[in-house]
Structure 1
Amino acid sequence: MRNELSGGQVSGGVVQARDIARLTIGAGAPPPPVRVPRQVPAPPRGFVNRTAELAALDALLAGEPDTPPVAVISGIGGVGKSAFTRRWAYQVSDRFGDGQLYADLGALRHRGGTEVSDVLGGFLRALGVHEEWIPAELPERASMFRSKTAGLRLLLLIDDAEHAAEVTPLLPASRGSAVVVTSHRRLGELLLSGAVPIRMAPLSADEGTRLLAGMLGEDRLRAAPAAAAELVRLCGGLPIALRVAGARLVQRPAWTIERVVGELTDAARRLDRLAVEGKPVVETVFEAAYHGLPPGAARLYRRLGLLPGPDFPLGAAIAIDDDGGGGDVTALLDVLLDANLLDEVGDGDRYRFHDLVRLHAARCAEREEPAAGRDAALERVAEWYLGRMAAADLAVMGTRLRLADHGRRLALGGTPFGSPGDALDWLETERANILALLRGAAARGWDEFVWQAAEAMWALYYQRKHYADWLEANRLGVAAALRCGDLAAQARMRNQVARALLELGEYGGAHEELVLARAAARESGNRRMEAAVLESLGRVDLERGDLDAASAAFREALRVNEDIGNPRGVGLQTYHLGLAHSRGGRHGEAAAAFERAMTVLTEVGDELLQGKIGIKLGAAYRSLGRPADAARAAGRAAQIMRDRRVPAEEARAWELLAVLAGESGDRDTARTRVRQAITAWLAAGNTDRAAGLREEHDL
């Protein structure tokens, strides 16, 4: 038997019958009315206004685009991307008369996988397409969605996208629509297609405080403003962490903010404390991002968590992962940047963790890296830093006394700095990291590294006057040298401690350190080290006003340097004798000593000391009535110190030049030199001296 249907294409069911006496056609129940979809969830309470980011999204709607504009809102997990986009969607809802569509891809992913086809099916149903007419395959659904949205004014909010491929099929066809995507990744493929990136950073101190005020009330914050500010800092301005901490205080009205601050101060337990009903809410956010990393990036992430400083350079990242594990570290860093687990700092190859992310990375290392592996990774970083520090010290200080032998390190590392100023600036940039590394090394008993690193940091501490760091680093060095039993290193470290105390006016403490240093130097048999300690003893006597004792110490140091054939030491002690003459008002003898020292140190090639001597020589010439010679000496000194980026000495040279110009009657030049001195003092961090000059010269 063969059945045939005529009439062309037939849609719907077909009834086959032999005879039909009567046919009744019923329309059935009418379809439900199509309503304008409003799917975006309401914004959360206590939203802190992000003015700049909201303005960037508003700009998305400006003009007449050829295609629907797309914005990618990215940032670290918990930074408030979803709350922000919902707030904006609420504010601009009247501009999208055909409705708002919403999909939380993260929630779908956690329920067993994200099917973009299912999301499109839901969107089509929301736009009134009956289930019967929705195609089964993704390409046909995407095509129908574009057809259905053509000419509409829709806002699409796609939350927690993982990849651009999840978003592309969801893009509508109407120029009057807009799409906002949130992701913990940067979604570079969407950006290549013209999407606008908007990066969400943690809240500022003021914004974080306002968020807490919205939860706890203004009165409670006014009662403990310092504690509230510290709570924001400990949470790193991360909204999810602040909300968790705030929720604990809301649930316990009798608790003070100080109590929660006290709990979070312990960095090792901070993530555990940021929990709700026993659930580690904040850590869970970071865990999700971590488990989404490829193996190489995950390994680098947890190892970077071992670094003790607030940020780190590319070289340190390369060193910490340089154990034959493979992988291009720069490419792995790009993966972490894309996942918003790292931030770039400045214009160069420098990176930083959010504080809470760093704690999570360190916890991952503790959990997954063996103790020996963790120590080996940090040792590689310490060795890399010491090589760079040695190169910077050599570039800044030249052929000064050094006990550590860095020959192999310098041969391997080459010449990484273009100038002494570049080297000094690198030490300044890495100052906090190096001190943190010193602390960690001291705790691990890496004594050779500790005292050698403290010795190398003299170049920075002596030029830039970071006294707290100077004292801490070298006291760690003293303890390390004592544990090593290295007498010369003990003398070196105590001498460097004493020089900081001397400059701080603590002459008694400086003298005590130097007595111990001289005994260690003598016992070690290192005569050059003994000469350095004698110089420091002379400097203490000089500052105490005992010029005879100071001169005697400098002459003895001079004889030792002559005996061992150290021309730099000869020039340096001749300079110190000039200082003693100058303090005694013997300006002619002072000028002669400075001139002899200048000659020797010019032959040695020590430009830094030439600059220091030039300032003192200029002052001696001024006292002798030789202003032209004084200006030449001070002018060259100012240029040397500017080029070498030693602002405190540069400022002293400009001050002397200002006095000389004023005494010659050139008031305009004098004021110019004072302004240059003020700029240099500010660069050196001496705001008091800068303010004093402004007041003195009415600037």
Structure 2
Amino acid sequence: MSDRPEVSNQVSGTSDLVIQAHTITGGVSIQRAAVLPAPRELPAEVFGFAGRTEQLARLDALLDSPAMALTVVAGTAGVGKTALVVQWAHRARHRFPDGQLYVDLRGYGPDAPVEPAEALEAFLRALGVSGADIPFDVSERAARFRSLVDGRRVLVVLDNARAPEQVRPLLPGSSSCAVVVTSRATLSGLVARDGARVLDLDVLTVAEATDLLRSLIGAQVDDEELTALADRCARLPLALRIAAELVVSRPRTPVAELRAELADDSLDVLDAGGDPKTAVRAVFSWSYQHLDPHVAKAFRRLGRHPGRDLDLHAAVALTGDDLRTTRRTMDRLLQAHLVHETERGRFGMHDLLRVYAAELARQNGDDPLTALFDFYLQSAARAMDLIVPEERARRPRIEATGVVAPLTDRAAAEAWLEVERPTLMAVAKQAARGRLPGHAVLMSQVLWRFLDNRAYHDDTLALNVHALKAVRQLDDPALEASAENNLGTVYWQLRRYDDALHHLHRSLELARAAGRRGVEASALCNLGVVYRLVGDYDSALESLNLALSIAADRADHTMLARNGYHLGNVYERLRRYEEAADHLEAALRSAETSGNRTIEARVQCHLGAVCTELGRVTDAQHHLDRALDLAHDNSDRTIEARTLRNLGVLQQKTGRLHDALATLGRALGLAEAIRDTLLHVEILNSFAAAALAAGDTENAFAHHDLALLLATRIGDAYEQARAHLGLSEVLVELDDSEHARRHHRRALVLFEGLGLPPVR
């Protein structure tokens, strides 16, 4: 990234990161992130898998392609595409030591298909990219994914795809990887443009179908009867498994009689050449009619669940039964192969079964969604109360009126939200589109902190878009003001500042018209943050001071603390440190009064930095020590890393250079571990400054150089300017005045564009 004189370095060994610098002596302190385990995302193999020897061998042969192996396994619904690919993938996984990625693209289910952006986010997280570092644009995500898997032996399984456009962004660019796609279509576009080869999967052969039935039923039925039953099921694995369970569950009934029932249940009389989809539907109907009425009702209601799977407590809410009865019901449906376990204690349905069950539910007038959505909303509220109890008053009060998830501590709450996150998003989406828009609004207000802390920006954006749509159905300007404010906040986190300003101004307008002073103050505060980020410091101060005045009138200590904190940040950036300290000290008093330890930790951290600039060493040390204690108590690794950075700067300025380098090294390691790129860049620049102060120009150059590279990648002009200025100082020490002047000029241009004086 930087201008530099010609140098020639010898690099030996292997590394994920190589930094071009002058000859480096001594110990280089650039930290490597902890090695993450390779993703192992394949679903479990299907019990009793039989046959498909030829197809398994063909999949093995396709791996020998000199280009990236791309295979489409195509076939009708229920023919066993997923079972085949998962079986093969488990057999072949030793050939992909760098990981196996899996996603169900839901191309033919009752829900909307998975968008490429969503699938790429999941892949990037599995490969170790933090949410904060995942690009918003789908093409940028695809490029990052290709970069991460380039040269690595990774298997990608794209299950249940509907169209080439859903698949193409998910393809690696390296011949070291392999991709297997399953679809009901041949996806000819992938063949023509991407060189895919198609494996058309037909129904099982007579011998394979008979062998599968034999393995599931046992030896008590002769081959002739098994062959006839296989033909009646069109030799489709899904239908065969359901039929086999009925045979096992009714040992006193001759198979011929059961086959006759199956023929009677069919919409059309089937023969071996009949429509496979009709055969599957006939088997569904046959199996359903033999369920106990109570179990049949549960089966119908499960078809209305909007997510990919559910746990036993959600099933309780869906069925209306107690836990013990629901457990017996799910066991019965498992035995009948009408549901399957996605993992221990969680249940899913084949998309054909879901469609069939949902149709039956509508025909029978089953409408369990209110109780189900109450369960998810109330459980999410309970989880957030355990995770961030100090913010309970700022969330809507949601009382438990029915079954809720049995969450007892913060760890359990975080784990539940992580697992249920896709379902919670699906609930909000369906609620916003249906007759329960209030649930979508409340869900956005409950979950925002969790999604923000985990950097699930896609989910946060989608959730708040759903909430805004839902609010407009309710015709409630006050709620709409809050929804616009939340959406504006998401946009500034995504660095889409124009969108953020649009929605925040709309929120401000609605809040003032509705007389909602709290929302008005929040919108003004958020506007102040965005103005600071775009370098409009006058507007930032104006908005934040207006918000501070409203918070004071309302005696809202949390809002006072938040606004004071952001005002302190603006004045710190302007190098008006006395005013920064005044606002941060007032914010600290408000945070302590409100009991909000999250905000207190942030204020203590920044107050320590400001006191350092003012030469108040004892005060700075006190505030930073307190910030570290709070960060540890809150398990807030971001504030811990930022506080260590500020502590390292304090140690440097007070001449403790050895301590400074050690502390900043710890901060670098932590920033790498949590994969916060902007924080990483800030610490790299600070480490470089400390290294230069210690006379280590080589390490100073290397760290500034890396900071410049990363800051340019994420588009942060302030840290680019710091890096350029630091590089100019290092190059002066190295007697390279020409390159030093170039970096200095570039730094001045950037600082001038930000309206700031140059600062290291």
TM-score above 0.5, yes or no: yes
8 Å CA contact 1:651, 1:678 repeated in 2? no
For residues 604-639 of structure 1, the C-alpha deviation after alignment (integer angstroms, 9 at most, x for no partner) is 111111122233223323433456654654455455
8 Å CA contact 2:440, 2:470 repeated in 1? yes
Which one of the candidate residues 201, 205, 222 is aligned to 1:246? 201
Partners of 2:411 and 2:614 in 1: CA distance: 33
Partners of 2:477 and 2:670 in 1: CA distance: 45
SS in 2 for 1:445: coil
SS in 1 for 2:511: helix
Following superposition, the deviation at residue 566 of structure 1 comes to 1.8
Partners of 2:289 and 2:683 in 1: CA distance: 52
For residues 479-525 of structure 1, the C-alpha deviation after alignment (integer angstroms, 9 at most, x for no partner) is 22122111111010000111111122222221211221112111212
Partners of 1:590 and 1:329 in 2: CA distance: 59
- Which residue number in structure 2 is paired with residue 393 of structure 1? 384
The one-letter amino acid paired with 2:506 is L
8 Å CA contact 2:387, 2:414 repeated in 1? yes
1:678 has 2:672 as partner: yes
Which one of the candidate residues 219, 231, 240 is aligned to 2:182? 231
**Taking structure 1 as reference, are residues 378 and 488 closer, same or farther at Cα in structure 2, changes over 3 Å only?**
same
Unaligned runs of 5+ in 1: 1-41, 52-75, 86-203, 210-221, 236-241, 249-274
1:574 has 2:564 as partner: yes
1:595 has 2:585 as partner: yes
Partners of 2:678 and 2:536 in 1: CA distance: 31
For residues 119-146 of structure 1, the C-alpha deviation after alignment (integer angstroms, 9 at most, x for no partner) is xxxxxxxxxxxxxxxxxxxxxxxxxxxx
For residues 274-296 of structure 1, the C-alpha deviation after alignment (integer angstroms, 9 at most, x for no partner) is x9752226666766765665444
Partners of 2:86 and 2:391 in 1: CA distance: 57
8 Å CA contact 1:48, 1:207 repeated in 2? no
Following superposition, the deviation at residue 576 of structure 1 comes to 2.1
- Which residue number in structure 2 is paired with residue 48 of structure 1? 56
For residues 352-397 of structure 1, the C-alpha deviation after alignment (integer angstroms, 9 at most, x for no partner) is 425xx144134223125546423xx111111111112223334444
Which one of the candidate residues 349, 353, 357 is aligned to 2:348? 353
8 Å CA contact 1:490, 1:520 repeated in 2? yes
Which one of the candidate residues 416, 440, 455 is aligned to 1:465? 455
- Which residue number in structure 2 is paired with residue 301 of structure 1? 299
Which one of the candidate residues 342, 367, 381 is aligned to 2:372? 381
Partners of 1:669 and 1:611 in 2: CA distance: 18
**Taking structure 1 as reference, are residues 603 and 686 closer, same or farther at Cα in structure 2, changes over 3 Å only?**
closer
Partners of 2:343 and 2:602 in 1: CA distance: 33
Partners of 1:472 and 1:80 in 2: CA distance: 29
Partners of 2:548 and 2:57 in 1: CA distance: 68
Larger radius of gyration: 1
SS in 1 for 2:346: strand
Which one of the candidate residues 307, 326, 330 is aligned to 1:333? 330
SS in 2 for 1:665: helix
SS in 1 for 2:182: helix
**Taking structure 1 as reference, are residues 598 and 299 closer, same or farther at Cα in structure 2, changes over 3 Å only?**
same
Partners of 2:678 and 2:408 in 1: CA distance: 25
SS in 1 for 2:473: helix
- CA RMSD, 1 decimal: 4.7
386-395 or 528-537: bigger deviation: 386-395
1:279 has 2:276 as partner: yes
Aligned-residue sequence identity (percent) comes to 24
- Which residue number in structure 2 is paired with residue 426 of structure 1? 416
Partners of 1:670 and 1:685 in 2: CA distance: 15
Partners of 2:85 and 2:462 in 1: CA distance: 45
Unaligned runs of 5+ in 2: 1-49, 60-77, 88-154, 161-172, 187-196, 204-271, 688-698, 707-760
1:604 has 2:594 as partner: yes
Using CA pairs under 8 Å that are at least 6 residues apart, name the structure with larger relative contact order, 1 or 2: 2
For residues 648-687 of structure 1, the C-alpha deviation after alignment (integer angstroms, 9 at most, x for no partner) is 44443454456566764134454344223322227x9999
**Taking structure 1 as reference, are residues 566 and 655 closer, same or farther at Cα in structure 2, changes over 3 Å only?**
same
The one-letter amino acid paired with 2:462 is E
The one-letter amino acid paired with 2:604 is G
Partners of 2:306 and 2:684 in 1: CA distance: 36
The one-letter amino acid paired with 2:54 is G
Following superposition, the deviation at residue 550 of structure 1 comes to 1.6
Following superposition, the deviation at residue 351 of structure 1 comes to 0.7
For residues 423-446 of structure 1, the C-alpha deviation after alignment (integer angstroms, 9 at most, x for no partner) is 444333322111111111122132
Matches within 5 A, 1:124-203: none
- Which residue number in structure 1 is paired with residue 235 of structure 2? none
- Which residue number in structure 2 is paired with residue 29 of structure 1? none
Following superposition, the deviation at residue 473 of structure 1 comes to 1.2
For residues 151-195 of structure 1, the C-alpha deviation after alignment (integer angstroms, 9 at most, x for no partner) is xxxxxxxxxxxxxxxxxxxxxxxxxxxxxxxxxxxxxxxxxxxxx
8 Å CA contact 1:474, 1:496 repeated in 2? yes
For residues 381-426 of structure 1, the C-alpha deviation after alignment (integer angstroms, 9 at most, x for no partner) is 11111112223334444465978753533x8779964455554443
TM-score, scaled relative to structure 2: 0.52
8 Å CA contact 1:464, 1:648 repeated in 2? no
8 Å CA contact 2:627, 2:640 repeated in 1? yes
The one-letter amino acid paired with 1:279 is P
8 Å CA contact 1:308, 1:440 repeated in 2? yes
- Which residue number in structure 2 is paired with residue 113 of structure 1? none
- Which residue number in structure 2 is paired with residue 10 of structure 1? none
TM-score, scaled relative to structure 1: 0.56
The one-letter amino acid paired with 1:351 is R
8 Å CA contact 2:380, 2:417 repeated in 1? yes
SS in 2 for 1:373: coil
Partners of 1:378 and 1:603 in 2: CA distance: 41
SS in 2 for 1:229: strand
The one-letter amino acid paired with 2:376 is Y
